Structure 1
Amino acid sequence: MKLEVKHAGNGRLAGKGQQHPGETRQANGKPVTNERSEDSVKQEANGKCNVPRKILNMYSWQEIQRHNREADQWLVINRKVYDVTGWARRHPGGHQVLSHYAGEDATDVFRAMHLKLDIVRLYLKPLLIGELAPEEPSQERNKNSQLVEDFQELRRTLEAMNMFKANRVFFFLHLAQILILETLAWLMVWHFGNGWLVTIFISFLLVISQGQSSFLQHDTGHLSMFTKSKWNHLMQKFLLSHLKGLSTKWWNYQHFQHHVKPNIYPKDPDINVGPLFLVGDLQPVKYGKKKIKYIDYEKQHLYFYMVGIPLLMPVYFNVKSMQLMYCQRYWDDIAWVSSFYIRYFITLGPFYGIFGTILLIYVVKFLESPWMTYVTQMSHIPMKMSREEHRDWFSTQVLATCNVEQSFFNDWFTGHLNFQIEHHLFPTMPRHNYHKVAPLVRSLCAKHGLPYVSKPMLEAFGDIVRALKKSAALWRDAYYKT
């Protein structure tokens, strides 16, 4: 249809010297929201703004779905159509997240990934180009509109129950646990020296500290987009970069893609583990038909124990993190990660020397790796993996994730990621509330005939290997029989 109202085009209002309404700029050109602009957004949202509303152009789903390329990206949020092409490169969660939803309804994913909606609306306003035509449904026609409405009603119910409000004492105690373990490890070396027994014991303390740091930074990472305060950004850098030596930008860009399109080829980077491993049903068959055999994939479920489990943290994560930092010149991340190594050299260097300290760092990462590998892989590798099917948000998350039964130990050991279904449906929800909302999610799954998978932890661990073995068999059949 022909546009009735002119706009800046491709969402580039903020790209070349122009400011968003109600927005000021720092010296580096980044937008900074102010209280006045936030108040104006709130007034507009509450219908208290007297500014006359512009006539918006009407679009059909057929027309919107044509704008699904990286150079031409439209999104629909609450029946409003936005051109995010020019804004994508400035998106705090990475441009890939927006491109993954180009040409689709992004209402639920938008609400799931953003905590401060008033602030986000400041960025959306200049990108608005129209709205859905009155005769068009709110979602694409292939989606279950009743399921979408039921999920949105569930979210409103949970918001009314304050399920998205964090218990600060809970997170303070977890942070205190980490800092006590780190301090105790240094005090033991300082008091008892660097003997073998002391080294083994402090390695154990540091492994627990590193693991719990991973879980706590996971919480701050999900709150780092479009927050009014820099507290979450600072805490994530402290926990992930200073305490663990990894880049926050690398983690965010990878992890946000995983959340918006879990187990979907090729949009979820977490399932792109070839050529070392082949996962799911599609990738093994593809490799087999093309006669690709970099490794004997028939034995991938066996070398998973020798390669995947011990090397995920000390090799794969570190290499990927450093590669992104140095290639993209993320100087703030480089400085924070450098502080991780400097801290170790200052506190433990006098006892172990430079080489011994580096060796201790990677021994700790090596020991932590099995823990993180099992916790991060048990809820996804055994689940459905597919190419893009354009499902609704609720179905996409439920089919790609599973839970592990609750217990005090399971909650602590997994950082509450045993409630992976609830975590994926509500990424900004504090993890101490997952068990409270789980019955409501299970009920909605039962109403619409979707599986709500929950299993014992040891069974979940075993399912990783069983899924790899199944994928290996699919590769073998395709490789030798076609």
Structure 2
Amino acid sequence: MTVAETSHPAPERRGTRRGSDFARLSRRVAEAGLLDKRPGYYAMRIGLVAALFGGTWALFAALGDSWWQLGVAVLMAVAFAQVTLLAHDLAHGQITRSRRVSRIAGLIVGNLAVGLSYGWWMDKHTRHHANPNHEDHDPDVAPDVLIWSQRQAEASRGLPRFVGRWQAFLFFPLLTLEGVNLKVSSFRALRRPSLKHRGTEGALLAAHVVAYLAAIFVVLPPPMALLFVAVHQAAYGVYLGCTFAPNHKGMPVLTAEDELDFLRKQVLTSRNVRGGRLVNTALGGLNFQIEHHLFPSMPTANLRKAQPIVRDYCASLGVDYVECGLLESWGQALRHLHEAGRPLRAARS
């Protein structure tokens, strides 16, 4: 949906910027100490994620040729997703202020551990943060396979036009391919001259693929090994999709006609997800998406503390602050996808 197609308050158009609104909020958050790093929190979190990651591989090796390995494949998908969420925090500078340390650690946990290009993903995610849910500038709402607005539907061709008619029903099945898609996109990015340290990125990605497949095919016979890879990658894709989809999908899609100040651009296109400690852990803190978009370098552990400050401040400005439960967030995303494909169903009928 576009801004005009939602019940959310219409954002200000050109000539009505309020650049000082975010500055006042930022001062409040900084004075509360919420932009300070949290080394103790991240030391504990990294230790737990490393134990989960290493433990699943140890369990995999101990079980050997067994149908129980399919359960291990799902558990390993959870471990891979949690490592990916750590790479996300590294990319935003949440863990350390040193860009060099963040890059080295990101290459290890991203490229080597899970087979995701840290440099490619960081570039893509930075462009998303700069213009969230913008048809022309956000790569996350580009009409690749899925379409995100009726305007995109009317201009679609090929696969997006075919899938777009019933994409709400195909969304979760398509997520099973997302893990493989991320790896393919990572290798494709190596052809870009703009990608820094391409040699290192490529070597670590190749090392991951070789070590991953070698470990699986050494322990399991080929048919079971192939099934293990399929289940693992499918579960990994679904986990990541269910982590990122609630954040923006179903929120207003911006166009060139919408020019917002920083605060409104981030808040009006984002959605928070309620759910307590379990949801917070499963989503890696991204359930506080509004606070994360306003303060990308804020440590995950501080997002919950920043929420009441941000929510009250938005209320004082009359800026819509959206939050709902996890299932409702998925429902909103699916309804939005179905509505975006309406012109394609109408044209076919």
- Shorter-chain TM-score range: 0.7 to 0.9
Q: How far does the alpha carbon of each residue in 1:35-77 deviate from its partner, in whole angstroms, 9 at most, with x for none?
A: xxxxxxxxxxxxxxxxxxxxxxxxxxxxxxxxxxxxxxxxxxx
Q: How far does the alpha carbon of each residue in 1:106-153 deviate from its partner, in whole angstroms, 9 at most, with x for none?
A: xxxxxxxxxxxxxxxxxxxxxxxxxxxxxxxxxx971333xx323202
Q: How far does the alpha carbon of each residue in 1:1-59 deviate from its partner, in whole angstroms, 9 at most, with x for none?
A: xxxxxxxxxxxxxxxxxxxxxxxxxxxxxxxxxxxxxxxxxxxxxxxxxxxxxxxxxxx
Q: In the alignment, which residue of structure 1 is the partner of 2:293?
A: 424
SS in 2 for 1:386: coil
Paired residues of 2:74 and 2:231 also in contact (CA < 8 A): no
Q: Does 1:372 align with 2:240?
A: yes
Q: In the alignment, which residue of structure 1 is the partner of 2:179?
A: 313
Q: CA deviation at 1:193?
A: 2.2
Q: Does 1:344 align with 2:204?
A: no
Q: 1:271 aligns with which of 136, 141, 154?
A: 141
**Structure 2 CA distance for partners of 1:362 and 1:339, relative to 1, 3 Å:** farther
Paired amino acid for 1:408: R
Q: In the alignment, which residue of structure 1 is the partner of 2:15?
A: 142
Q: In the alignment, which residue of structure 2 is the partner of 1:183?
A: 54
Q: In the alignment, which residue of structure 2 is the partner of 1:219?
A: 89
Indicate the structure whose relative CO is greater, using CA pairs within 8 Å and at least 6 residues apart: 2
Q: CA deviation at 1:384?
A: 0.5
Q: CA deviation at 1:312?
A: 1.5
Q: How far does the alpha carbon of each residue in 1:283-340 deviate from its partner, in whole angstroms, 9 at most, with x for none?
A: 12444xx999841632221222332x211222x2122111111454711111111222
**Structure 2 CA distance for partners of 1:229 and 1:396, relative to 1, 3 Å:** closer
**Structure 2 CA distance for partners of 1:363 and 1:446, relative to 1, 3 Å:** same
Q: CA deviation at 1:406?
A: 3.9
Q: CA deviation at 1:354?
A: 7.5
Q: What are the residue-to-residue correspondences of 1:222-237 with 2, within 5 Å?
A: 222-223=92-93, 228=98, 230-237=100-107
Q: In the alignment, which residue of structure 2 is the partner of 1:100?
A: none
Paired residues of 2:143 and 2:160 also in contact (CA < 8 A): no
SS in 2 for 1:400: coil
Paired residues of 1:345 and 1:354 also in contact (CA < 8 A): no
Q: Distance in 2 between matches of 1:377 and 1:459?
A: 12
Q: In the alignment, which residue of structure 2 is the partner of 1:304?
A: 171
Paired residues of 1:281 and 1:385 also in contact (CA < 8 A): no
**Structure 2 CA distance for partners of 1:242 and 1:421, relative to 1, 3 Å:** same
Q: Distance in 1 between matches of 2:268 and 2:130?
A: 13
Q: Distance in 1 between matches of 2:323 and 2:229?
A: 35
Q: Does 1:161 align with 2:32?
A: yes
How many residue pairs get aligned? The number is 332
- The structure richer in strand per residue is 1
- The structure richer in helix per residue is 2
SS in 2 for 1:295: helix
Q: Distance in 2 between matches of 1:304 and 1:470?
A: 13
Q: 1:325 aligns with which of 174, 190, 194?
A: 190
Q: Distance in 1 between matches of 2:61 and 2:132?
A: 46
Q: In the alignment, which residue of structure 1 is the partner of 2:324?
A: 455
Paired residues of 1:221 and 1:232 also in contact (CA < 8 A): yes
Paired amino acid for 1:352: L
Paired amino acid for 2:108: F
Q: 2:65 aligns with which of 177, 194, 216?
A: 194
In structure 2, runs of 5+ residues without a counterpart are: 1-12
**Structure 2 CA distance for partners of 1:358 and 1:221, relative to 1, 3 Å:** farther
**Structure 2 CA distance for partners of 1:158 and 1:184, relative to 1, 3 Å:** same
Q: Distance in 2 between matches of 1:338 and 1:440?
A: 45
- For normalisation by structure 1, the TM-score amounts to 0.64
SS in 2 for 1:144: coil
Q: What are the residue-to-residue correspondences of 1:7-46 with 2, within 5 Å?
A: none
Paired residues of 2:64 and 2:220 also in contact (CA < 8 A): no
RMSD: 2.7
Q: What are the residue-to-residue correspondences of 1:90-129 with 2, within 5 Å?
A: none
**Structure 2 CA distance for partners of 1:447 and 1:295, relative to 1, 3 Å:** same
Paired residues of 2:292 and 2:298 also in contact (CA < 8 A): yes
Q: Distance in 2 between matches of 1:416 and 1:357?
A: 33
Q: CA deviation at 1:383?
A: 0.5
Paired amino acid for 1:331: G
Q: Distance in 2 between matches of 1:464 and 1:160?
A: 35
Q: Distance in 2 between matches of 1:404 and 1:259?
A: 18
Q: What are the residue-to-residue correspondences of 1:249-288 with 2, within 5 Å?
A: 249-274=119-144, 276-287=145-156
Q: Distance in 1 between matches of 2:129 and 2:88?
A: 12
**Structure 2 CA distance for partners of 1:351 and 1:291, relative to 1, 3 Å:** closer
**Structure 2 CA distance for partners of 1:456 and 1:190, relative to 1, 3 Å:** closer
Q: CA deviation at 1:362?
A: 4.4
Greater mean alpha carbon deviation, residues 375-384 or residues 336-345 = 336-345
Q: What are the residue-to-residue correspondences of 1:358-397 with 2, within 5 Å?
A: 360-388=228-256, 389-397=258-266
Q: How far does the alpha carbon of each residue in 1:214-248 deviate from its partner, in whole angstroms, 9 at most, with x for none?
A: 11111001129x95452111111111111110111
In structure 1, runs of 5+ residues without a counterpart are: 1-139
Paired residues of 2:272 and 2:322 also in contact (CA < 8 A): yes
Q: Distance in 2 between matches of 1:285 and 1:457?
A: 30
Greater mean alpha carbon deviation, residues 417-426 or residues 356-365 = 356-365
Q: CA deviation at 1:475?
A: 3.6
Q: Distance in 2 between matches of 1:150 and 1:327?
A: 38
Paired amino acid for 1:300: Q
Q: Distance in 2 between matches of 1:338 and 1:425?
A: 36
Q: Distance in 2 between matches of 1:311 and 1:475?
A: 24
